[in-house]
Amino acid sequence: MHDDFVANLRLLCSYYPSIAEVCRRLAINRAQFNRYLSGRYRPSHAALQRICHFFGVTTGDIALPHSDFRALVQTGQLNREDPTTLPWPNALIQRGREGMERYIGRYFELYRSMSRPGLLMRTLVCLEAREGGVVYQRTERMQTLPGARSCHNRYVGTAVKLADRLFLVDHETLNGHEITQTILFPSFQSQVTRLTGLKMGVADNSERMPCCVRVVYQRLDEQVSLREALAQCGLINPEDPSLDDALIAATQNDVAAGEHHFRARH
């Protein structure tokens, strides 16, 4: 049975350009995957579920005798999972993961504060590939009284790319008081440096006013440590010299003459 699993897994991999491509799309360690292909190790239950979900087969299919499995593959009779029949939001996450690899990384998120009008909010957003999709954590650092420790809000969510737009939805995990949605334009440059769009959420004060603001995602250099990045987060005066004119303009929440909606701007 173990030999059949190895042969079946190798057959599934043969339909892809390379083992490296399979590992990249599975977000699995190449050395560990090679152990499965060699038969040295059997995947854990969770890893097996992940592999089968990726290839669109069931755990029963991949354990079939290899001759039977090969015949099913060649005749297209495998019980493959159709993304349109997967429960929401799994189907959406699977559909929207394509093209998200280039956006993995850390960003400063900047927008006009919803609870402190006149100031900019800078938060840290970390996007990473996990379980076949892209998830992220967004951390807010809120200054309190001088000399007091800063407080933090932590949001977790998922990001998908659908029809040339990036959609990010998250929820606040410490108090459970908010869900936010962000829609960004993708980048068509060779390197992703800055993304713009709209963000909708709730002001973090007693008023809890629903708000929509223009937002900028500014990609961080990989050399910047997590501690350094968090230290730069919080409320910022728009006159701060570290902010360039293009960023200030991109976060202005004005409505131009002739505009009938509050619109995102490139």
Residue range 12-27, pLDDT digits in tens? 998 888 899 889 888 8
Same fold, 2-81 and 101-250: no
Name which of 174, 161, 109 is nearest 134 in CA terms.
Answer: 161
- Taking the complete model, does pTM exceed 0.75, yes or no? no
Q: How far apart are CA 116 and CA 263, in angstroms?
A: 22
State pLDDT tens for residues 219-232: 999 888 888 998 89
Tokens for 247?
Answer: 């960023």
Per DSSP, helices labelled H in the chain are 2-13, 19-26, 30-38, 45-55, 59-62, 66-75, 90-96, 226-231, 245-250
The pLDDT value given to residue 45: 84
- 266 residues of the chain, pLDDT tens digit each: 468 899 999 999 988 888 998 898 888 899 999 999 998 888 888 888 888 878 878 888 888 888 888 887 766 555 544 444 445 566 677 778 888 989 999 999 999 999 888 999 999 999 988 766 888 999 988 765 455 556 678 898 999 999 899 999 999 887 778 899 999 999 988 899 999 999 999 987 788 899 999 999 999 998 888 889 988 999 999 999 989 999 999 999 999 888 889 999 88
d(CA 200, CA 128): 22
DSSP-assigned letter for residue 85: G
Going from N- to C-terminal start, the domains of the chain cover 2-81, 101-250
Superfamily in which the 2-81 domain is placed by CATH: lambda repressor-like DNA-binding domains (1.10.260.40)
Name which CATH class applies to 101-250: mainly beta
- State the CB neighbour count (10 A cutoff) for residue 175: 9
Q: What is the 3-state secondary structure (H, E, C) of 174-191?
A: CCCCCEEEEEECCCCCCC
Q: Are 217 and 228 within 8 A, CB to CB?
A: no
